Amino acid sequence: MILDQGHSQAVGVSPARHEELLTLLGQDAPVPGWLSAAARAAWDACPPVGTALRAVLRTRAAGVGFERASWELDLACNFRCAHCYLEQRPGGGLDWSARKRLLGELERAGTLWLQLTGGEPLADPLFAST
């Protein structure tokens, strides 16, 4: 998938087209017509050219296909909602090193969108430093 900062819509790229883009890295070759057309359709913009194409190709295809993930950071919560199943609202999520490992795994799996849930993610003591 190709994303553009500030836009929620992505452009899907087949493995063959992804490999085509990888061959263009570091060259001053023109952007393929299919990519220009897709960028105009999705974002009303032109894609980067030449060496700037590196920004588009941040990672190789993961092969796993987890584009979206949800992570329950912690059960801690500073609210007292009547419908909540947590009576005591304990804390106790992963420590900092485990969080870094998990984020790396999510990146390697090809995750593009990450939903943070919890109890309340902002009540997690490590959230601000994350």
My answer on whether 42 and 75 are in the same domain is: no
Q: Is residue 130 a part of any domain in this protein?
A: no
My answer on whether 95 and 76 are in the same domain is: yes
Residue 84 burial (CB count, 10 A): 11
Residue 118 CA to residue 84 CA, distance in Å, equals 12
Residue 43 burial (CB count, 10 A): 18
From first to last of its 130 residues, the chain has per-residue pLDDT tens of: 777 767 777 788 888 888 888 787 777 777 788 888 888 888 887 665 544 454 455 555 556 666 788 988 887 777 778 887 766 666 677 888 999 999 988 888 878 888 988 777 887 778 776 4
Number of domains, the chain: 2
Q: Is the dihedral of CA 7, 104, 129, 91 positive or negative?
A: positive
My answer on whether 53 and 81 are in the same domain is: no
Residue 68 CA to residue 109 CA, distance in Å, equals 10
Q: Is residue 98 a part of any domain in this protein?
A: yes
Q: Is residue 108 a part of any domain in this protein?
A: yes
Encoded tokens for 92: 């106790």
My answer on whether 8 and 55 are in the same domain is: yes
Can you give the residue range of the structural domain that contains 20?
Answer: 1-61
